Amino acid sequence: MLKYALIPLLPFAGFLIAGLFGKYLKERAAYAAVAGVAGSFILSVSAFIDVLGGTIIDENLYSWFAIGNLTVNVGFQIDQLTAVMLLVVTTLSTLIHIYSVGYMHGDKGYARFFAYLELFTFFMLVLVMANNFVLMFVGWEGVGLCSYLLIGFWYEKKSASDAGIKAFVVNRVGDFGFLLGMFLIFLTFGTLDFTDVFAALSGPAAAQSYMLLGAEIGVMTLISLLLFVGAMGKSAQLPLYVWLPDAMEGPTPVSALIHAATMVTAGVFMVARCAPIFSLSPTAMTTVAIVGGLTAVFAATIGLVQNDIKRVIAYSTISQLGYMFLGLGVGAFAAGIFHLTTHAFFKGLLFLASGSVIHALSGEQDMQKMGGLKRKIKVTHGVFLVGSLALAGIFPFAGFFSKDEILWSAHNAGEVGRVLWMLGVFGAFLTAFYSFRLIYLTFYGKSRIDHEVEHHVHESPKVMTIPLVILAFFAITIGWIGMPGAIIPHANLFGDFLAPVFPVLEHGVANHGLERWLMVFSVMVALAGIRLAYSLYVKNTSMPDRLARSFKGTYNLLLNKYKVDEVYNFIFVDGLVHRLARFLYNITDVKIIDGAVNGIAGMIRRTSEGSRKVQTGFVQEYAFVMGLGLVVLMGLYYVLK
């Protein structure tokens, strides 16, 4: 058990070292940090091998607190799902830590950065290893906190600290749902341990229903929907996705680790972990699938016209998260987790590679001021291309296998599924288009780089490129572990590995012929997207401007991200929050709280002015009072006895 407990504790130790002694260690703090995650990675591999050998851990370390009939333990559960997540989190975390050694070099918050990153890794591991909802929530909030700290890492920049606050507040809305879901689970089942809750699902408690707004809603549906609200916040789904693009204000390794590979997938993980609950409610499943599908296309359309290199990838992340939820929603839980895994690698790669581009251009993020970089930064270009091919879902890169499995499951999931499949294929087209628009604008064509910057263009140091190459290798190969039956029968190692965790909800029968045709079709669609990007941004470079002019309304709507931020601002921030805040300030704060505080202070002052006269300073008078106490006590004894 100690081995498993050390998986989260090693990064925590690294956090303590880097955080407490960062001032003295300076850049050496990175060694402690990398050592912490690397140790955690090695232990995770060992844990994975244990699980592969059939050892499922579900053990309580100690009792955290017990109130009434609620007992919350600190305990770890390591099953197939957790093992996969452990590998994903620790691999990415280790590589990104190494990359950051080079990327953050010379930053004045160097040690602080690694301390936060370590703390994040700790909380993420707690989240995936928890064996009950409360501990999972601890990790859930912890990663949210670290996300806030790291988005606002350059806190002297106003936009960065604003983005941190926005992420925190939007996540709070989701967490509210998660909390309510947890309460309802406890109310229904009287426990919060995963095993106990899932065991009780077949009992009578799960069949209850509530009357809400005149409609009868089953308790399982209600719990699922509330939990899904939490997942929407953390995993940036419609309508709570607005924080993720702004989160790109943080350093690029943070975007890669937290806002692409791990934290934002926590929602997906949570839904997958609660698969037994969700699978009892068709309504909730459909909701998850529809929200996922809509988000996938919606975010992709915004990504089409963005000019900030990191924002394009951010919208792509939202869109890919949508695919994951689409997969979960149609009952293909393993496919969703599979996409989570492949996405973690290729999207982490894309972010780190874009960080390398930004590094090469001395901090420039606007793609309109790039171009022609292919010759100058060859390694970055190569890995970027691999990442984009994986993202676009071209055979045999990783994204192809996972996205295709999701689309195939959607296609099999009835009429709604068929519509979602169409959305997904359309999204795949958009994905291919924007990812290659990114490639062409950045690496091809004529250089639009500022002159001062152009002299300094240089390839990143080895400590950054080696993690990139490793990630690129995974971005190609990681998909092969989930080989669909249509290509090589009975070779879906990933699906088989996860099969014990998830309920079986397969629709229809395997139809390898049709599946093969659909695969070819989706690859064709993706290739068409790439071709379109090629003709618009390499061949005929004046075309995009003309298009933008002739479809001015649409273009501006997309460029301004559907003005969702403005609408939210108008309704929630200005309308609700400010008015409420003014009320709270004028009435509650000034009148009630300040009044009470000042009143109590005044009362205490008057009392003490009176009572200080008692303090004469003469020791004998104090002694007399003691003697008086003796007399009174003895008198009391006499009276009472």
Partner 1 sequence: MLHKAIFIYFAAVCIGSALLMITRRNPVHSVLFMLLLFFHIAGLFVLLNAEFLAAVQLIVYAGAILILYLFVVMLLNVDRESAAPRANRYWPWLTLFGLLISAEISFLVLRGSFPADAGQQPMTLAVGSVRDLGIELYTKYLVPFEIASVILLVGLVGAVMLAKKIKD
Partner 2 sequence: MVPLYWYVLLSAALFTIGVVGVLSRRNVFIVLMSIELMLNAANINMVAFSHYLQNLTGQIFVIFIITVAAAEAAVALAIIILLARNRGSVHVDEFNLMKG
Q: Is 620 in the site for partner 2 (CB under 8 A)?
A: yes
Q: Is 614 in the site for partner 2 (CB under 8 A)?
A: yes
Q: Is 613 in the site for partner 2 (CB under 8 A)?
A: yes
Q: Which does 638 bind (CB under 5 to 8 A by kind): partner 2, partner 1, none?
A: partner 1
Q: Which does 499 bind (CB under 5 to 8 A by kind): partner 2, partner 1, none?
A: none
Backbone angles phi, psi at 161, to 5 degrees: -70, -35
Q: Which does 62 bind (CB under 5 to 8 A by kind): partner 1, partner 2, none?
A: none
Cβ atoms of 383 and 466 within 8 Å: the answer is: no
Q: Is 638 in the site for partner 1 (CB under 8 A)?
A: yes
- By C-alpha distance, which of 168, 183, 179, 306 is closest to 314? 306
Query: How distant, in Å, are the alpha carbons of 258, 259, 355, 614 from that of 255?
Result: 6, 5, 9, 65
User: What's the min distance (Å) between Cβ of 618 and partner 1?
Assistant: 9
User: What's the min distance (Å) between Cβ of 630 and partner 1?
Assistant: 7
Q: Is 618 in the site for partner 2 (CB under 8 A)?
A: yes
One of 190, 489, 575, 635 touching partner 1 (CB under 8 A): 635
Stretch that binds partner 2, among 169-177, 424-432, 479-487, 618-626 (CB under 8 A): 618-626
Q: Helices 414-443 and 512-534 sit at what angle, rounded to 10 degrees?
A: 30
Cβ atoms of 266 and 124 within 8 Å: the answer is: yes
Stretch that binds partner 1, among 17-25, 237-245, 306-314, 627-635 (CB under 8 A): 627-635
Query: How distant, in Å, are the alpha carbons of 222, 625, 636 from that of 629?
Result: 64, 6, 10
Between 542 and 615, name the residue whose CB sits nearer to partner 2. Answer: 615
The answer to whether the peptide bond before residue 396 is cis (omega within 30 degrees of 0) is yes
Q: Is 617 in the site for partner 2 (CB under 8 A)?
A: yes
Stretch that binds partner 2, among 151-159, 357-365, 502-510, 615-623 (CB under 8 A): 615-623
One of 612, 637, 638, 640 touching partner 2 (CB under 8 A): 612
One of 65, 562, 570, 624 touching partner 2 (CB under 8 A): 624
Stretch that binds partner 1, among 298-306, 340-348, 523-531, 625-633 (CB under 8 A): 625-633
Q: Is 616 in the site for partner 2 (CB under 8 A)?
A: yes
One of 2, 619, 630, 639 touching partner 1 (CB under 8 A): 630
- Continuous H helices in 444-461: 451-455
DSSP characters over 462-492: HHHHHHHHHHHHHHHHGGGGG--TTTSTT--
Whole-angstrom distance, CA of residue 417 vs CA of residue 409: 8
Between 155 and 622, name the residue whose CB sits nearer to partner 2. Answer: 622
User: What's the min distance (Å) between Cβ of 610 and partner 1?
Assistant: 23
- Three-state DSSP at 308 gives strand
DSSP characters over 484-529: -TTTSTT--HHHHHHTTTS-----S---HHHHHHHHHHHHHHHHHH
Site size for partner 2 (CB under 8 A): 12
Of all residues in the chain, what percent are helix, strand and coil, respectively (each to 5)?
75, 5, 20
One of 624, 625, 626, 639 touching partner 1 (CB under 8 A): 624
One of 54, 637, 639, 640 touching partner 1 (CB under 8 A): 637
Whole-angstrom distance, CA of residue 366 vs CA of residue 61: 50
Q: Is 627 in the site for partner 1 (CB under 8 A)?
A: yes
Q: Is 509 in the site for partner 1 (CB under 8 A)?
A: no
* Strand positions, DSSP E, 68-157: 70-78
One of 619, 631, 639, 640 touching partner 1 (CB under 8 A): 631
Q: Is 620 in the site for partner 1 (CB under 8 A)?
A: yes
Stretch that binds partner 2, among 216-224, 354-362, 367-375, 612-620 (CB under 8 A): 612-620
Cβ atoms of 255 and 310 within 8 Å: the answer is: yes
- Three-state DSSP at 318 gives helix
Q: Which residues bind partner 1 (CB under 8 A)?
A: 620, 624, 627-628, 630-631, 634-635, 637-638
